Amino acid sequence: MYETISTLPQTVYIGIGTVIAAFVAGLISVVNTTISKENKISEFRQAWSEAIIDEVSTYISLVSKIHVSWLTSRSKGISGATFLESEVNTIREMQALQHKITLRLHEEKHAKIIEHLKRIDLIICNNNIEQKEADLEHLIESLSSDTKTTIKQEWIKVKLGEIHFIWLRRIGYFLSVSLASLIFSTCLLYIYFMIKQG
C-alpha cells in the first residue's frame, strides 16, 4: 500500500490539496453568509421589539390619560358624549396606535394582545368606561403583561438564533471535528509510512 501511495505523482497531492481547500473555503463561505443573515434577522427582531415596547407604552399612557380625564369629567357632572367630544384627538391618536400595533403583530401568535386592544377600544369608544372601569384596568394590566411575555420570547429567539442557524452550527461543529480528525489521521498515517520506510 505504501508503494502505491509513494508512486503517486506530485500533481495528485496538489489536486487533493486544492479540493480540500475549496471545500474548506465553501464551508467558511456558507457559515459567514448564515452568520450575516442571522445577525440581520436579530437586528430586525430587536427593532421590532423596541417599536412594540414604544408603541404599547404610548398606547397605555393614552388610555390612562383618557381614563383619568373621564374620572375628572364624571366628578364635574359632564356627560359621556361631551367627554368623548373633548377627548376626540386623544382617542384618534390611541386608535392610530392600536392599528399600528395590530399591523406589527401576528394574528394567531399574538391573539391575546390584539384582543386586549380591541376590547379597550370598545370600552372607550362606546362610552362604557363607567360600567366597565374594572375591566379597563384589568385589560391595561393584561396588555402590559402579555406584551412583556412576547418581548421576552423574542429576546430568547434572538439569543438562541433561528432554527436553521442552530442546525448549521451543529453541522459545522460536526464537519469541523470530522475534517480535523481526517487531517490528523492522514498526518499520522504519513508519519507511520515515513518511519517504516526509513
List pLDDT tens digits, range 96-138. Answer: 999 999 999 999 999 999 999 999 999 988 877 777 888 889 9
Residue pair 102/114 in contact by the 8 Å Cβ criterion: yes
- Decide if pLDDT at 2 tops 60: no
Q: Which domain holds residue 94?
A: 2-197
Give the total number of structural domains in the chain: 1
> Could you tell me which residue, 139 or 75, shows the higher pLDDT?
139
pLDDT of residue 100: 96
Task: State the Rg of the chain over Cα.
Answer: 32
Residue pair 59/98 in contact by the 8 Å Cβ criterion: yes
pLDDT of residue 57: 96
- Decide if pLDDT at 154 tops 80: yes
CA dihedral 50, 54, 55, 57 (to 10 degrees): 130
Mean pLDDT, residues 11-27 taken together: 75
DSSP state of 106: -
- Decide if pLDDT at 161 tops 70: no
Residues found in the chain:
198
- Look up the pTM and report it: 0.70
Looking up cell 376590547 gives 119
- Decide if pLDDT at 198 tops 70: no
Per-residue confidence at 1, pLDDT binned at 50, 70, 90? very low
State the DSSP string of 77-140.
T--HHHHHHHTHHHHHHHHHHHHHHHHHS-TTTTHHHHHHHHHHHHHHHTT-TTTTHHHHHHHH
Mean pLDDT, residues 136-145 taken together: 93
- Decide if pLDDT at 142 tops 80: yes
Q: How many CB atoms lie within 10 A of CB 147?
A: 24
Residue pair 86/135 in contact by the 8 Å Cβ criterion: no
* Cα–Cα nearest to 124, from 159, 98, 156, 155: 98
* Cα–Cα nearest to 71, from 124, 121, 129, 14: 129
Looking up cell 396606535 gives 97
- Decide if pLDDT at 193 tops 80: no
d(Cα 95, Cα 100) in Å, to the nearest integer? 9
Percent of the chain with pLDDT over 90: 34
List the grid coordinates of 41.
Answer: 434577522
List the grid coordinates of 183.
Answer: 487531517
